[in-house]
Structure 1
Amino acid sequence: MPSLRELQRAFSAGVFNELPAELAQHIRAGRFPGPQHFQIYRNNVCESLTNALKAVYPVVERLVGDGFFRYAADTFMRTHPLSSGNLHDFGDGFAEFLESFPPSQELVYLPDVARLEWAWHRSYHAADRAPLALKALAAIAPAQYADLKFMLHPSVQLVTSDYPVLRIWEVNQSAYAGDQSIDLGLGGVKLLVIRRQQVQIESLNEADYALLSACAAGATLAQAAEAALRIQSDYNLILALHRHASSGVFSDFSC
């Protein structure tokens, strides 16, 4: 007889694939045969996970329609089974999945729309932490400035795209009632997603994006400044740091 661990593995595999023969014989029949009971359970799990994906990616669903989204969700959950007990983690990697999903290849902007929606989701559920107080920097000696490392607030997410995904996202909000036109020729965007009183999405210039991306990667202030200055030679680092710190982008620093 299989061990409990073996049965659990077979059960988990059977939810998203064919019911293993070694498991079928251990499912107790009731009002329905054992395999039919399992199919009912499978349907409930898949419907719950599909609804979870819809909640995270409402704009993607609106762009492709319910039938397409369900097909994509079914394929995604079979190849990316939930590996965490936290349902909020389900959906990570959906943008990368859409990049290689054959039916979505003509919708070249769709993966980046998904990235923006995932960033919004992660920002919304991020840990709550007080923003950096500027007065805390007063105790730092000027000789140490170059070695400072600024930590982004847990809710901060950075998104870059070659397409106008913010415009696509905006016109597909349920409350939006303005001009529905979208010009893919508008070009790309660099975006900051942050939770203040609510989740907000803001456009960044390329130098600001380079600075914050470097900070997110653990760069020192000198390294982050160099990244920004490579893009904009007259970049005002002091003003940029003050602006981002004042708006809650940073939560801490180390030296």
Structure 2
Amino acid sequence: MHSLHELQAAVATAILERDSSRIGWSICGDDGQDRLAVYIGNVYHNLRQALREVYPVVERLVGEQFFDHAANRYIRDNPSQSGDIQHFGHHFPRFLASFPPAASLSYLADTATLEWLMHESFHAADHAPLLFSELSNLAGAECSTLRFRLHPACRLFASSYPILKIWESNQPDAKNDERVDASAGCDWLLVRRIGFAVDIQPLHAAEFAMMHALHEGRTVDDAYELALQQDPEFALGVFIERRILDSTIVGFEL
């Protein structure tokens, strides 16, 4: 006799290894292994589809066959840790960065990272906008020690590649087949949800430095110093006004 725990562990191993013969006893009658094989196929198919929906540009870059091969390896090496399939695929960019067959595509992991951040942004919580009246009673000295909060759906990403151009040129509605030079520069990006769509906005280095510091919980003064290191002409007031109006900044703490 085998315990329930032993049976569950054996089934899990059989699924991850895609080998129904790993179970050495009947689990569903004489055709148990055949039934398990069908179930294993369905599990892998559903998880590949979940990855495919999050990473369409990655699939376009590598092709369906390569993508399925990578997805199968990822599924085996990174079993789902959540009952919510929306969380599956979080580590796929890191997996691609160390996946030997993808070594020649140095920008692939960053492309995957951008797509995952878009996925996170789409499913993130909403938040009411910040009203300027909430700031009006603060003294100048207090303003310098504010810690602004970014909208929960905002994500920041710095890439060593022109990743936005790579992403744009691989959209279904892209108007040309222009090849992108992966060594043509870097990107600083703000990913955020606007309504029911996710928007990707390129940033200047100073604005990215400012926003990233705020996201890490730094004060306005500290974040501003980092922005000035990138651009001595950086206009703090313009930045704050703009980012409150577009609901990138939605709150603050003293």
Is TM (by shorter chain) over 0.5?
A: yes
Deviation at 1:44, TM superposition (A): 0.2
Write the mapping of 1:36-47 to structure 2, written as runs, cut at 5 A. 36-47=34-45
Q: Which moved more, 1:146-155 or 1:128-137?
A: 128-137
Write out aligned runs for 1:24-63 (5 A): 24-29=24-29, 33-63=31-61
CA separation of 1:78 and 1:137: change in aligned 2, threshold 3 A: same
Aligned-residue offset at 1:62: 0.5
| 1:133-144 → structure 2 map (5 Å cutoff) | 133-144=131-142
For the 8 Å contact 2:54–2:115, the answer to whether it is kept is yes
CA distance in 1, matches of 2:18, 2:170: 37
Q: Which residue number in structure 2 is paired with residue 9 of structure 1?
A: 9
The answer to whether 1:212 aligns with 2:211 is yes
Distance 1:43 1:155 in 2: 35
Cα distance, 1:22–1:71 mapped onto 2, change above 3 Å:
closer
Matched, 1:156 2:154: yes
Preserved contact between residue 150 and residue 215 of structure 1 (Cα < 8 Å): yes
* Residue aligning to 2:229: 230
Distance 1:6 1:82 in 2: 19
Asked whether the 8 Å contact 2:21–2:33 carries over to 1, the reply is no
Q: How far apart are the structure 1 equivalents of 2:55 and 2:67?
A: 10
Counterpart amino acid of residue 231 in structure 1: Q
What is the identity, as a one-letter code, of the residue corresponding to 2:29?
A
One-letter amino acid of the structure 2 residue matched with residue 58 of structure 1: P
Q: Kindly, what percent of the aligned residue pairs are identical?
A: 39
How far the C-alpha of 1:22 sits from its partner, in A, is: 8.2
Q: Is the 8 A contact 1:29 1:37 kept in 2?
A: no
Work out the number of aligned pairs and report it: 253
Relative distance call for 1:44 and 1:227 in structure 2 (3 A) is same
- Mean Cα deviation higher: 4-13 or 157-166: 4-13
Gaps of 5+ in 1: none
Q: 1:222 to 1:24 in 2, by over 3 A?
A: farther
Letter in 1 for 2:250: S
- State whether structure 2 residue 153 is matched by structure 1 residue 189: no
Return the match for 2:65 from 50, 67, 90.
67
Residues 193 and 6 from structure 1, CA distance in 2 versus in 1: closer, same or farther, beyond 3 angstroms?
A: same
CA shift, 1:152, in A, is: 1.1
Residues 150 and 7 from structure 1, CA distance in 2 versus in 1: closer, same or farther, beyond 3 angstroms? farther
1:86 aligned partner: 84
Q: Secondary structure at the match of 1:194?
A: strand
Per the normalisation by structure 1, the TM-score is: 0.92
Cα gap change, 1:141/1:167 in structure 2, threshold over 3 Å: closer, same or farther? same
Secondary structure of 1:115's aligned partner: helix
- Aligned mates of 2:118, 2:37 — CA distance in 1: 34
d(CA) in 2 for partners of 1:97 and 1:243? 37
> 1:125, CA displacement in angstroms?
0.9
Partner of 1:254: 253
What is the TM-score when the length of structure 2 is the normalising length?
Answer: 0.93
Give 2:246's aligned amino acid. S
Contact 1:153 1:248 in 2 (8 A): yes
Task: Tell me the distance in 2 between the aligned counterparts of 1:192 and 1:54.
Answer: 23
Task: Report the alpha carbon displacement of residue 26 of structure 1 after superposing the two structures with TM.
Answer: 4.9
Other structure's SS at 2:201 match? strand
Distance 1:160 1:47 in 2: 33
Q: Secondary structure at the match of 1:123?
A: helix
SS in 1 for 2:176: coil
SS of the counterpart of 1:186?
coil
Residues 53, 22 of structure 1: alpha-carbon distance in 2 compared, 3 angstrom cutoff: closer
Match of 2:128 in 1: 130
Structure 2 unmatched ranges of 5 or more:
none
Q: Aligned with 1:82: secondary structure?
A: coil
